[in-house]
């Protein structure tokens, strides 16, 4: 279940963040058909079944992403983040704060989640909204991938809780910093530790809780 816009970006971001594809160049085309069906055709040299067997997706149905997620995936090892990116805390504060103003549906209703990707200088690269927080993250990953922007140089801002699934997705594409208005769950903390990813929650005003690898955020 998802909000019905930026569907191409959602599909691309989801496949990247779950490890089914490694880049957008592996996609031949994306077709949307009636009854809410999306077909992604990969390049013929891609060994899809092998990719799928290494992924989490073949073991579950993907829900709306706000509850109902299986917990088995937290035993899986996430991809290690190798980025040396550092960001001033003021840039993180401003990036998360801007979600309240730039995310129009979130501002109007408070009933959706928003996610954004920024450079270390605070330049907005991608912004998306969705009823599901995982979907919003997938959408911004898809937007940045289409633009061919290096994820190593970006940080992710979100309005949602920081669960293990969110951290797994960010680490899979190499995003080194994830910050949110909301709380970090135990699963998110554990996944961030395994992934060498900087996790920050309750980013509000001039307050920030940094749970893992604080050296990337310059106070």
| pLDDT for 48 | 83
Q: Which position has the token pair 């920081």? A: 162
CATH 3.40.140.10 fits 1-219, yes or no: yes
| Closest of 141, 146, 144, 156 to residue 199, by C-alpha | 156
**Domain edges within the chain:** 1-219
> Which of the residues 42, 66, 125, 149 is marked catalytic?
66
User: pTM of the full predicted structure?
Assistant: 0.91
Please write the tens of the pLDDT for every residue from 56-87.
Answer: 654 555 555 554 444 445 556 889 999 999 99
CA quadruple 6, 104, 114, 40: dihedral, nearest 10: 0
Please write the tens of the pLDDT for every residue from 79-113.
Answer: 999 999 999 999 999 999 999 889 889 888 888 99
Phi, psi (deg, nearest 5) at residue 111: -100, 5
Question: Does the active-site annotation cover 66?
Answer: yes
Please write the tens of the pLDDT for every residue from 190-200.
Answer: 999 999 999 99
What per-residue string of b and e applies to 174-197 under the rule 16 or more CB within 10 Å gives b?
bbbbbbbbbebbebbbebbebbbb
């Amino acid at each position: 279940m998802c909000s019905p816009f930026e569907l191409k970006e959602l599909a691309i971001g989801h496949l990247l963040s779950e490890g089914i594809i490694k880049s957008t160049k592996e996609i031949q085309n994306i077709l949307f058909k009636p009854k809410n069906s999306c077909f992604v055709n990969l390049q013929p040299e891609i060994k899809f079944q092998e990719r799928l067997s290494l992924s989490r997706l073949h073991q579950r149905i993907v829900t709306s992403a706000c509850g109902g997620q299986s917990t088995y995936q937290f035993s899986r090892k996430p991809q290690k983040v190798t980025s040396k990116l550092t960001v001033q805390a003021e840039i993180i504060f401003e990036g998360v704060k801007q979600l309240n103003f730039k995310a129009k549906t979130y501002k109007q209703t408070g009933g959706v989640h928003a996610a954004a990707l920024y450079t270390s200088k605070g330049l907005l690269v991608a912004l998306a909204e969705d009823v599901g927080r995982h979907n919003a993250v997938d959408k911004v990953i898809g937007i940045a991938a289409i633009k061919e922007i290096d994820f190593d140089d970006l940080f992710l801002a979100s309005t949602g809780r920081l669960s293990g699934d969110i951290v797994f997705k960010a680490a899979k594409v190499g995003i080194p910093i994830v910050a949110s208005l909301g709380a970090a769950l135990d699963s998110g903390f554990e996944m961030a530790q395994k992934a060498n990813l900087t996790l920050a929650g309750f980013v509000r005003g001039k307050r920030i809780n940094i749970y893992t690898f604080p050296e990337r955020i310059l106070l």
